Amino acid sequence: MEQHIFGVAEVNQLVKLLLDGEPMLQDVYVRGELSNYKMYPSGHHYFTLKDPVGALRCVMFRGQASRLRFRPENGMKAIAQGRITVFPRDGAYQLYCNSLTPEGAGDLAVAFEQLKAKLYAEGLFDPAHKKPLPPYPERIAIVTSSAGAAVHDIIRILRRRYPLAKAVLLPVRVQGAEAPPEIAGAIRYANKWRVGDVIITGRGGGSMEDLWAFNDERVARAIYDSELPVISAVGHEPDVTIADFVADARASTPSNAAEIAVPDQEALKQWLTGAASRLERSGTARLAALRQRLGTLAEKRVLQDQMAYVQDKRMELAHVQQRLGDLSAGLVAGKRQRVSVLGAALDAMSPLKVLGRGYAMARGPSGEILRSWRDVQSGERVSVTLGEGGFLCTVEEPFEKEGKAWPRKK
């Protein structure tokens, strides 16, 4: 009998038929560590599951990968579910993965921590970005389901605490795949049309799966971008969502959100009553002080005898005028005496006064004052000023001392 020789493709196809025919391999769960994890633009994910003694190639196509709630990372312990078969072209068997779950923690918990770390690093939780709530809002925008108990609790508390505020409901789904875009869209709508002064978004309690819409990145970014302050009110006190971290204020329950959003009218009434009482006491005290001052003024002479008051003031004015006149006369006399003294001193120092006593002042041809016989030459014309008038003369011969001629200069 002739031996049958298989082609490579035939062998690969035969192995594929054998593996596909094994029921145990059509729904298998495999535990291992993620390695060489790659996400391609096509949406397909390729990775390897490994343990200390072996490795298994895996592929997750776009349809299954789109349902992942967390971001797989190398080194992460995970459990993959799918079927094992052979890709005939390569002849290598691999796991076609339908689902991937982090080992130890659920995929939702891992996704929550991953998104929380990402948004924190981007600054979406920064307290400096959080806006203050208005003290007396006129309108409250409520982004929640119209069929849930949360909206009724919120409206009931708003009407009881502060009936002046108007509640505006923006109904959305709060659970399921359609919920995140609806919630984000309603928040943007409230900002665009300014339907409220503050936004409350949330829902009643439930499982982590039920509350997952408020852990969606789209909702978180819509809250962060909101120009209106946002109060997050998801579930009960133990429930914490990404929306709680991003929002400007967190409420433990939807009812608590209504309490945070508006003041209590009873507290306002008490404050107004106290303010009115304080104002009344202040006005009474002020009025008493004015009456006392008026009584004091009424006792003054100006109000009891006006003419006598006028005469007193006239006498005071006359006294001031007389004193002012005396001071002015004394000041003028002192100044005059000072001027006389200064005039006499100036007159005594005047050159004319000296000339009047028989002295003369000689000036050379250029008008300079002559102080020495050396300042002139024979034949120069000299101007002589006397106490009264003067004359011009010509120098015949300079001399050092009177009576002793000095030889002429040649």
> What is the CATH classification number for the domain harbouring 247?
3.40.50.10550
CATH number at residue 19: 2.40.50.140
Nearest C-alpha neighbor of 78 from the set 51, 52, 53, 96: 51
364 and 309 co-located in one domain? no
353 and 379 co-located in one domain? yes
User: Is residue 79, in this structure, part of any structural domain at all?
Assistant: yes
User: Is residue 241, in this structure, part of any structural domain at all?
Assistant: yes
206 and 143 co-located in one domain? yes
The distance in angstroms from the start CA to the end CA of the chain is 169
Q: What are phi and psi of 356, to 5 degrees?
A: -65, -20
Instruction: Give the model's pLDDT for residue 402.
Output: 63
User: Is residue 132, in this structure, part of any structural domain at all?
Assistant: no
Residue 148, SS3?
A: coil
Residue ranges, the chain, pLDDT below 50: 409-410
Instruction: Give the model's pLDDT for residue 310.
Output: 75
Q: How far apart are CA 118 and CA 347, in angstroms?
A: 102
User: Is residue 164, in this structure, part of any structural domain at all?
Assistant: yes
327 and 386 co-located in one domain? no
Q: Per the structure block, which two tokens stand in for 6?
A: 């298989």
87 and 170 co-located in one domain? no
321 and 250 co-located in one domain? no
Query: Which residue is it, tokens 């001629």?
Result: 405
Give this prediction's pTM. 0.57
Instruction: Give the model's pLDDT for residue 409.
Output: 46
User: Is residue 272, in this structure, part of any structural domain at all?
Assistant: no
Instruction: Give the model's pLDDT for residue 163.
Output: 94
Q: How many domains does the chain have?
A: 4
For the four alpha carbons of 267, 273, 278 and 282, in that order, the dihedral sign comes to positive
23 and 88 co-located in one domain? yes
User: Is residue 145, in this structure, part of any structural domain at all?
Assistant: yes
156 and 247 co-located in one domain? yes
Q: How far apart are CA 376 and CA 397, in angstroms?
A: 9
Nearest C-alpha neighbor of 66 from the set 105, 27, 39: 39
255 and 159 co-located in one domain? yes
Q: What is the pLDDT of residues 57-81, one digit of tens each?
A: 999 999 999 888 888 888 888 889 9
Q: How far apart are CA 196 and CA 256, in angstroms?
A: 18
Instruction: Give the model's pLDDT for residue 410.
Output: 45
Which residues share a beta bridge with 258? none
Q: How far apart are CA 5 and CA 92, in angstroms?
A: 20
Q: How far apart are CA 40 and CA 60, in angstroms?
A: 11
User: Is residue 340, in this structure, part of any structural domain at all?
Assistant: no
Nearest C-alpha neighbor of 150 from the set 210, 190, 108: 210
For the four alpha carbons of 310, 311, 313 and 317, in that order, the dihedral sign comes to positive
106 and 202 co-located in one domain? no
User: Is residue 339, in this structure, part of any structural domain at all?
Assistant: no
Instruction: Characterise 176 by phi-psi region: left (phi > 0), alpha (psi -120 to 50), beta (else).
Output: left
Domain C-terminal end among 78, 112, 146: 112
148 and 257 co-located in one domain? yes
Query: Which residue is it, tokens 């068997």?
Result: 93
Q: Which helix (H) or strand (E) holds 32?
A: strand 28-39
Instruction: Give the model's pLDDT for residue 106.
Output: 66
CB 165 within 8 A of CB 140: yes
How far is residue 346 from each of residues 126, 136, 350, 351, 354, measured CA to CA in Å?
A: 88, 88, 6, 10, 12
250 and 200 co-located in one domain? yes
Nearest C-alpha neighbor of 168 from the set 140, 197, 191, 200: 140
Domain of 315 in residue numbering reads as 302-332
